Structure 1
Amino acid sequence: MADVDVSLKELMTGVEGALGAAVVDYTSGLALGVLGGGKDLDLEVAAAGNTDVVRAQMRTLEHLGLASQIEDILITLDRHYHVIRLVNGRSGNGLFLYLVMDKARSNLAMARHQLKRVEENLAV
């Protein structure tokens, strides 16, 4: 089991092209931890904004009557990938991992694999 800080370090060092990562509580919109980012990438603001994305997607699934769980949500921009991975483990109810990557330097499939591994080992 890995705590929030260790999990964020694993994402930033284990994903080629990682620019920033966060663990976010989508019930409150608060980031429990952030690593990376910068003046052009405010992870606190992104965490709050992506909370709305997660909530909207969950409402949509509920309205459609789908019993499926969200694994991840991908947002593709011209220079970045933004991946939201819901934490479905025993201690992660209400949390998601958020990873921002440089589109030109990252491998999306490998990043999703790393996010899944980190999600499975996250202990809050």
Structure 2
Amino acid sequence: MAGIDVSLKEMMAVDGAIGAAVVDYGSGMALGALGSSKDLDLQVAAAGNTEVVKAKMRTMDSLGLKDAIEDILITLGSQYHIIRPISGRGGKGLFLYLALDRNRGNLALARHQLRGVEEKLEV
């Protein structure tokens, strides 16, 4: 099992990672973040992506879908943003957020590595 700090370091070790956060989508607050820069404010990203997660959950509920979100991908011209709600016992109400440089990152590998981070995370 890994804590938030270790999990953030593992997320930042993903090829092309430019920012990572563990976010409480009840409050929109990042419980931890690494990699903020002038181009990527992780506190703003945490709050904004909270709205994305909540909207998708409301939509799934309205559609009567009895399934769980594995991840949400936002593709920009130069970046990938991956949002992965945590489904484990201790992580209910949290999500992992990873921003990748599109030219340096491998999306499939990043998704695979995030799954591993989620499995080991203990909050």
Structure 2 unmatched ranges of 5 or more: none
1:17 matched residue in structure 2: 16
Letter of the 2:15 counterpart: E
- The corresponding residue for 1:89 is 88
Distance 1:38 1:29 in 2: 19
Q: What TM-score does the superposition give when structure 1 sets the normalisation length? A: 0.98
Equivalent pairs, count = 123
Partner residue of 2:6? 6
The alignment-based identity, stated in percent, is 67
> Deviation of residue 37 (structure 1)?
2.0
Q: What's the TM-score, normalizing by structure 2?
A: 0.99
Give 2:45's aligned residue.
Answer: 46
1: distance between equivalents of 2:15 and 2:99?
11
Could you say what secondary structure the match of 2:112 adopts?
helix
* Secondary structure at 1:62 match in 2: helix
RMSD value over aligned CA atoms? 0.4
Partner of 1:71: 70
| TM superposition shift of 1:65 | 0.3
CA separation in 2, counterparts of 1:28 and 1:43?
15
1:100 paired with 2:118, answer no
Alignment-derived partner of residue 113 in structure 1: 112
Deviation at residue 34 of structure 1 after TM alignment: 0.2
Kindly provide the CA deviation profile for residues 55-106 of structure 1, in whole angstroms up to 9, marking residues without a partner as x: 0000000000000100100000000000000100010000000000000011
Whole-Å separation in 2 of the counterparts to 1:95 and 1:52: 13
How far apart are the structure 1 equivalents of 2:26 and 2:104? 32
**CA distance in 1 between partners of 2:111 and 2:80 (Å):** 11
